[in-house]
């Protein structure tokens, strides 16, 4: 592991958590977005993580975004003939966003960000302590 490996790992974790929270915010912002009947409904995007590591870089060196996938669930349909996006039968296709799951994931992503920030802070404090040990001799 590099000299500042813990800080690097924390940095990649914070970057991933930030990207995850950005996607979750986008999903929540579009939870009530409807589209024209001939268009595909909005689908929540899910971020997939992968640990860094290969034959060159050892595993345990952080995390990165491997993929962003859309929720493949069937959209709900509501009958609302007065809605501007209603089809000829008066049905509106609703977005595919599970608000409960999105809020849960937002809390987890926030805690992930905080934990990685604390990792960086702790590593910084440890490096500072190590430098002070050398000065006291």
Domain coordinates of the chain in residue numbers?
5-135
Q: What is the pTM of this model?
A: 0.85
Tell me the C-alpha distance between 106 and 121, whole Å.
22
Looking at residue 57, what is its pLDDT?
61
Sign of CA dihedral 70, 71, 77, 82: negative
Is residue 97's pLDDT more than 60? Answer: yes
Dist CA 89 CA 49 (whole Å): 42
CA atoms within 13 A on the CB side of 22: 8
pLDDT in tens, 50-74: 988 766 666 678 899 999 999 999 9
Q: Which of 80, 104, 107 is nearest to 91 (CA)?
A: 80
Confidence grade of residue 43 (pLDDT, cut at 50, 70, 90): very high
Give the DSSP per-residue string, 27-75. HHHTTT----TTSPPPB-EEEEEEE---SSSPSSS-EEEEEEEE--SPP
């Amino acid at each position: 592991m590099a000299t500042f490996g813990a800080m690097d790992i924390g940095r990649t974790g914070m970057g991933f958590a930030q990207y995850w929270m950005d996607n979750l915010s986008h999903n929540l912002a579009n939870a009530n977005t409807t589209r024209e009947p001939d268009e595909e409904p909005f689908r929540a995007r899910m971020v997939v993580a992968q640990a860094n590591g290969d034959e060159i870089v050892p595993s345990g060196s952080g995390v990165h975004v491997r993929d962003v996938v859309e929720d493949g669930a069937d959209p709900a349909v509501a009958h609302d003939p007065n809605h501007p996006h209603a089809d000829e039968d008066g049905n509106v296709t609703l977005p595919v966003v599970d608000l409960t799951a999105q809020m849960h994931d937002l809390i987890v992503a926030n805690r992930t960000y905080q934990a990685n920030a604390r990792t960086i802070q702790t590593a910084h404090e440890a490096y500072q302590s190590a430098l002070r040990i050398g000065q006291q001799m």
